[in-house]
Amino acid sequence: MNTWFNDHKSTLDNAIEACQKRHHWAAYPEVPSEKIYGEGSKQAGEDAFNALQNKPFALSVPMSEAAFVAADAKSPYGIELGITYPQLPVDKLLEGAEAAQKQWRRLDTDTRAGVCLEMLDRLAKQSFLMAHAVMHTTGQPFVMSFQAGGPHALDRGLEAVAYAYQAQTANETSAEWAKVVGKNRDGEKIVATLDKHYKTRGKGIGVVIGCATFPTWNSYPGMFADLATGNAVISKPAEGATLPLAIAIDIMRQVLADAGLNPDLVQLANTGGERAYTQALVKDARVKMIDYTGGPGFGTWLQNNCPDTQLYLEQAGINNIFIESTDNVKGMANNIGFSLSLYSGQMCTAPQNIYVPKDGIDTPDGKLSFDEVAAAIAKSVEKLLGDDNRAFAILGAMTSDAVKARVGEANAFGEQAGKVVLASCESDYAAFPNASTAKPILISLDSPDHDFAQAEQFGPVAFVIACEDRDDALTAVCDSIEKHGAMTTSLYCTDADFKQTAIEEIADAGSPLSINLTGGIYVNQSAAFTDFHGSALNPAANTSLTDLGFVAQRFGWVTVREERH
């Protein structure tokens, strides 16, 4: 443990620099190559995943007295997982976290950062195992599972450590304070001198509630922000996506044990699907912080029932595309088609509503009508997903029956209220014939005034919506952001003056914005160290991954003063 900070200091320094300068940098390679991760690493990861199935998941450093309770019964790709995970009573979890936290919070900032950096390094070495775990609990395609479940998630965790380190080292840890407080009878100054020392202390136990689609990517920031600022963390995975976080916790507990620290600093809260378990955990007064990614129903419950707890929430929103004009119709349509298709639209950054003036858009070849814009997008999706092998690498599988049902509901809505421009259909995967799949459905609507489209339809569902003109479309986009929230917004516009107007209006509404994407960068993507994921300025999220605000409320400063005599 004593060498870990120095071992990884260059990684931390580079992360801090990237956070400040916002340039491209990544600590953990995103290419799933054995040239990077070592010969045999790909097969070893798959073998390790297969070995975990149909048995209890035994932590290398056990949570003592835990029973084993089932979770992750079946993969979205149709294979039975049959894994049980350790479960402790809520009070036992919290007792363990409190005991471990007492030791941890007294360590200096460098030591805590070193332990976190060692955890990230060891997690990176298991990226192929994590890829299979993420793929078969969330339905992500394999390459996305590798990247978003491993390197990209780790970069987000490192980003949180970097911001936490900056926040805790912004001040000196000691100072000599001297003040003239008067004069003696001889006229000499009387100086009061104090030695001052400044200690950080974590606020208390943090609970990180994972999501069903990106269990590590959305959990690591909160977990590592809690740890780096001196707090214990309890990870509560989403039902059906326990395995990735169980693997992470297993590795993190090994690091703690190797450091001679209490491994109960990091624990798994396996609810066994019992909502009451989660509610009892988060309502306990010993829990001081909660990170939550998921639907607004439970997010609102947290706000109503945990009023004294610091909440970091990422909830539902509606992401919009506004097409005013373009100089590259094919590039625009292909880019949008890929964004709609990627992971079957099951991303908090995936676009849903595409606003287009009813009289069409300007292009280098003249006016493109509203119907032609919708048809171009539909054609790009059809071409992209026409080959099942390619669809397998892009669509993945649907994470739940609820997503599949939503596609059926959208089809019924489209037939009744609009026009189904592109019907959804299944994709056949030779390797996984029982996978739950659906290609995107695209529906055109004559106005924004449809309640079904003005609610988040999480999954492969999108709408092309006609507006009176470009001003009306911009107003509709901004109104949607302010009312429903948005994690992303995309704009296509070649009019420089109007583009600047839209930039300012959308910034006022509080949404991140991407402009004129026609190549290999997509609105769905959010990169650590350069993109703030969420703005904390609209209802979709009250926090941002990652900025100083994400870490600053997780710890406090204690001043110790001693007078010199």
Query: Taking the CA atoms of the chain, what radius of gyration do you get in angstroms?
Result: 26
Please, are residues 51 and 81 in contact by the beta-carbon 8 Å criterion? no
Residue 253 has pLDDT above 90, yes or no: yes
pLDDT confidence band for 405 (50 / 70 / 90) = very high
- The whole-chain average pLDDT of the chain stands at 96
β-bridge mates for residue 422, sequence order: 442
DSSP, residue by residue, 375-427: HHHHHHHHHHTSSHHHHHHHT---SSHHHHHHHHHHHHHHHHHSEEEE-----
pLDDT at 173: 94
Mind listing the pLDDT tens digit for each residue in 96-109?
Answer: 999 999 999 999 99
Sheet containing 441-445, strands listed edge to edge, beginning at the edge strand earlier in sequence: 419-422, 441-445, 461-467, 353-357, 320-323, 489-492, 513-515
Residue 450 has pLDDT above 80, yes or no: yes
Residue 2 has pLDDT above 90, yes or no: no
pLDDT at 431: 93
Q: Give the pLDDT mean for 121-132.
A: 98
H-helix or E-strand containing 20?
Answer: helix 9-21
Peptide bond into 546 cis (omega under 30): yes
Q: Which residues, in sequence order, are CB contacts of 304 under 8 Å at separation 6+?
A: none
Lowest mean pLDDT among 208-217, 223-232, 328-337, 413-422: 413-422
In the three-class reduction of DSSP (H, G, I as helix; E, B as strand; rest coil), residue 66 is classed as: coil
Please, are residues 4 and 114 in contact by the beta-carbon 8 Å criterion? yes
Mind listing the pLDDT tens digit for each residue in 71-105?
Answer: 877 999 999 999 999 999 999 999 999 999 999 99
Residue 517 has pLDDT above 90, yes or no: yes
pLDDT at 64: 86
Nearest in space to 311 (alpha carbons), one of 326, 300, 319, 322: 300
180 burial type by CB count under 10 A (0-12 exposed, 13-18 middle, 19+ buried): exposed
Q: Give the pLDDT mean for 21-47.
A: 96
Mind listing the pLDDT tens digit for each residue in 523-557?
Answer: 999 999 999 999 999 999 999 999 999 999 999 99
In the three-class reduction of DSSP (H, G, I as helix; E, B as strand; rest coil), residue 492 is classed as: strand
pLDDT at 183: 93
pLDDT at 114: 98
pLDDT at 72: 77
Residue type, 532: F
pLDDT at 73: 79
Token reading at 543: 């926090």
- For the chain, domains (ranges, CATH) are 4-13+40-187+197-316+545-562 (3.40.605.10), 320-515 (3.40.309.10)
Q: Give the pLDDT mean for 322-341.
A: 98
pLDDT at 207: 98
DSSP letter assigned to residue 59: -
Q: Give, in order, the Cα–Cα distances in Å from 203 to each of 110, 290, 317, 537, 555.
A: 18, 12, 30, 25, 5
pLDDT confidence band for 316 (50 / 70 / 90) = confident
pLDDT at 435: 95
Instruction: Quote the CA–CA distance of 138 and 133 in Å, as a whole number.
Output: 8
Mind listing the pLDDT tens digit for each residue in 142-201?
Answer: 999 999 999 999 999 999 999 999 999 999 999 999 999 999 999 999 999 999 999 999
Q: Give the pLDDT mean for 467-482.
A: 98
Residue 1 has pLDDT above 80, yes or no: no
Token reading at 15: 């992360």
Nearest in space to 479 (alpha carbons), one of 360, 355, 377, 371: 355
Cα dihedral 344/128/206/529 (nearest 10): -70
pLDDT confidence band for 273 (50 / 70 / 90) = confident
In the three-class reduction of DSSP (H, G, I as helix; E, B as strand; rest coil), residue 121 is classed as: helix
β-bridge mates for residue 541, sequence order: 314, 538
Q: Which residues, in sequence order, are CB contacts of 310 under 8 Å at separation 6+?
A: 203, 288, 289, 290, 553, 554
% the chain with pLDDT above 70: 100
Residue type, 277: Y
Nearest in space to 114 (alpha carbons), one of 5, 232, 203, 194: 5
H-helix or E-strand containing 550?
Answer: helix 548-552
Instruction: Quote the CA–CA distance of 214 and 212 in Å, as a whole number.
Output: 6
HEC sequence for 435-488: CCCCCCEEEEECCCCCCCCCCCCCCCEEEEEEECCHHHHHHHHHHHHHHHCCCC
Token reading at 401: 């029956």
pLDDT at 151: 98
Residue type, 239: E
pLDDT at 412: 93
Q: Give, in order, the Cα–Cα distances in Å from 238 to each of 206, 465, 483, 487.
A: 16, 33, 27, 20
Residue type, 315: Q
In the three-class reduction of DSSP (H, G, I as helix; E, B as strand; rest coil), residue 520 is classed as: coil
pLDDT confidence band for 65 (50 / 70 / 90) = confident
End-to-end CA distance of the chain: 38
